[in-house]
Chains A and B, each alone.
Chain A
């Protein structure tokens, strides 16, 4: 046993043209969260407490796509989801469709610790959150100016963006531009106004 270890991520599918200032911002947040987790492990906290604490930190910072700074639905709202799993006994908890819970990962933890279930979604999850007294905020708290602009671009490009980039017009496949769901017009089948092929990769 080599002692404790920790890893964090802030999402894959990074835009190759990400400006240097954004890269520095992301590195700063990752370093801060990593150090916080490492200090907690050094102090003897358990693995499940540390992963919850670190993901809360990442949810609170608007730099990444979770909690505040979450991607927006086509209606311009936020619907968040999270899960947590403790290798000790393989216990787990998950939530989806949250729109007012400030830290989704902590509600997932409560599903694991204080409910008979392993997964609660939408209204049921929000009701459970009220019962448990977790911090709840207005949906607008999660919405950033930048993401409102991104959603507008996505709608104009008629696309679902997996890495926040505007599809290059005429892109005929997702792989041609890493991480993008460009509208590919295979056949006529549409869903939500988009070619069905759009959803397959998603």
Chain B
């Protein structure tokens, strides 16, 4: 699975996710990536893209939960990401990346690692795995 989240110069957010799914999966199987609100979500507060165990991400509507935690509980982006990863996945393994309209970038995962990278206008750039 691959994904990208962006906030542009005007403060608008967007998210996109794409995947081949699971190795040896049944034909016809649909995972979380195409499900808006689970694998992908964007609104005027933030944008989120998820990856990992599809069932856990679907049941927790993980991407929308990050946005809802910011909207209704007033959490910051990283607080919302941390809470969603820690409290919403039950036994599931997953990771996500997110940006907010204020130009913040955040990520979280409870797997061994997540291929990820981020950059901001002030010159910060990071690529990580573990």
Residues of A at the B interface (CB closer than 8 Å) are 1-16, 18, 23, 26-27, 30-31, 33-35, 37-38, 41-42, 44-48, 50-52, 54-55, 58-59, 64-67, 69-75, 77-88, 90, 92, 94-97, 104-105, 108, 118-119, 121-122, 142, 147, 150-151, 154-155, 159-164, 174-175, 178-179, 192, 199-202
Contact = CB atoms under 8 A, between A and B. Distances in A.
B11 to A, nearest CB: 5
Interface residues of B, number: 84
Contacts of A79: 20-21, 25, 27-29
Given A6-B4, A26-B115, A200-B55, A85 B40 contact: yes
A1 B8 contact: no
Nearest to B107: A7
A134 B59 CA distance: 33
Please list the 9 inter-chain residue pairs (A to B) with the smallest Cβ-Cβ separation, ordered nearest first: A70-B20, A3-B121, A2-B103, A10-B115, A12-B95, A14-B113, A87-B13, A47-B14, A82-B18
Contact of B34 (A13, A37, A119): A119
Contacts, number: 371
A159 to B, nearest CB: 7
B17 A83 contact: yes
Contacts of B125: 31, 34-35, 38
Main secondary structure of the interface of A (DSSP, over half): mixed
Given A65-B2, A84-B40, A97-B28, A31 B15 contact: no
Contacts of B115: 9-12, 14, 26, 30, 64
B11 A6 contact: no
Given A2-B120, A178-B112, A37 B4 contact: yes
B25 A74 contact: yes
